[in-house]
Amino acid sequence: MKKPVFTGSAVAIITPFLADGGINYDALGKILEDQIAGGTDAVVICGTTGEASTLGDAEHMDAVAYTIKTVAGRIPVIAGTGSNDTAHAIAFSKQAEALGADAVLLVTPYYNKTSQAGLVAHYTAIANSISLPCILYNVPGRTGVNIAPATLAELAKLPNINAVKEASGNIAQVAEIAALCGEELNIYSGNDDQIVPMLALGAKGVISVLANVAPRQTHDICALWAAGKTQESLALQLQMMPLCKALFADVNPIPVKWAMNHLGYAAGPCRLPLVEPSPAVQQRLAEALEILR
């Protein structure tokens, strides 16, 4: 059995920006402290929600270093180090390990894509370059490539391929992964609207956008399930569904960043090419956020 990097809710944290485009570290520090106080079980820095695709290499690693220093071992810090260039992903992963990250999150190669054999070669090369646990990130809606369950079963033979963040939205595929991989691969939900269904299939928790605005509730969905309070967990999942849906009414992280600003955090703007949500989406978000008051 592979020990999970975390159980429960990991926040896929936003990267707050200043008006001049730089990272707002004061705001990031406040968000991190509030996440820990709110019960979040781990933090993912520089993932999709953190706008990693528009971070330069130096500021990407600066954000990882700042997060590790601020969290100071209170909860695990998972660094997004994935790339569609295997050599780049290896370099990032080595730097994250040297900085003291607890694990790395590795998105599938995007745009150039690859075959299933290519995925095995890509992830094997990265895993063999570091000793940290590797969480693979399957999000075919963004990358155009899906990690097949049989491919995950092959990769799970590597000792530090620890988990998969499954954001395909395909519950049947998640069931097949669980059946094929068993205790050799931990599963995390990558979709906030599917936390309970995936927990029912043996997932260890969620890597969550929702947790940015609702850390306690997202933690509690997982904690209640783990405690055997499945009906309470389900009820909370269903209660959060309108907010889950509103947070994906535009391309992530456009809605969640607007929501964080609305809640009083200095989240700042998204970097281009991402722009402000439409007035209709803003109204939908504001109404959905009322459940938190």
What single-letter DSSP state applies at residue 142? Answer: H
Give CA–CA dist 96/253, Å, rounded: 23
| Contact predicate 132/101, CB 8 Å | yes
Helix (H, G, I), strand (E, B), or coil: what is residue 48?
coil
What single-letter DSSP state applies at residue 214? Answer: -
Phi/psi at 157 (5° precision) = -70, -20
Give CA–CA dist 260/214, Å, rounded: 10
| Contact predicate 221/198, CB 8 Å | no
| Contact predicate 202/20, CB 8 Å | no
- Residues annotated as catalytic are 137, 165
